[in-house]
Amino acid sequence: MKKKYCIWLSVFVMILTACHADINVDSPVPKYTVNFSLNIMVEAPSLNTQGGIYTVTKPIKYGQYIGYSGLLIVHGFDDKFYCYDLCCPTECKRDIMIEPNIDGTAKCKKCGTMFDTGFGSGMPQNGSSQYRLRKYKVIVSGYNITVQN
């Protein structure tokens, strides 16, 4: 009985590790400073509902930093907030950015990769990318959101 259990456990672990073996956890997008804050009610009302998205390509206040290509802030389907760099990790060029969709995904027009954004993984769902999106920490306090790295 113990031998069967060990064999099944080994097979299960191998299957789990093989599922995303080709996906690298670290994004090759350069690590630029991120320090951005906004009030959802005033500056980004689209983030009031789950599935809401807000993109930032320029700082809106002095002293704010928006990463390498800009920010994609998402009110996830699990009612949590997520933020990603807009730079496609496959192309890794500042001017080649992902474009968000309301279905919780974002697509790179150049390489065609579709990434998950609505559930917080940033993982490629299909396409040529072997990298996930660069993700930033989101702090929520009432209606205020702060994004940092």
Q: Give domain 24-148's CATH architecture.
A: 3-layer Sandwich (2.102)
Q: φ and ψ at 15, to 5 degrees?
A: -65, -45
* CA distance linking residue 78 with residue 94, whole number of Å: 30
pLDDT score, position 26: 81
> Over 70: is that where the pLDDT of 141 sits?
yes
Query: How many alpha carbons lie under 13 Å from residue 60 in its C-beta half-sphere?
Result: 12
Residue 30 tokens read as 């350069």
Burial class of residue 11 in the structure, from the number of CB atoms within 10 Å of its CB (0-12 exposed, 13-18 middle, 19+ buried): exposed
pLDDT digits (tens, 9 = 90+) for 37-64: 999 999 999 999 999 999 999 999 999 9
- Domain definitions of the chain by residue range: 24-148
Average pLDDT score over the chain: 87
Angle, vertex CA 114, rays to CA 124 and CA 78, nearest 5: 75
Instruction: Give the tens place of pLDDT for each residue, 64-104.
Output: 999 999 999 999 999 999 999 999 999 999 999 999 999 99
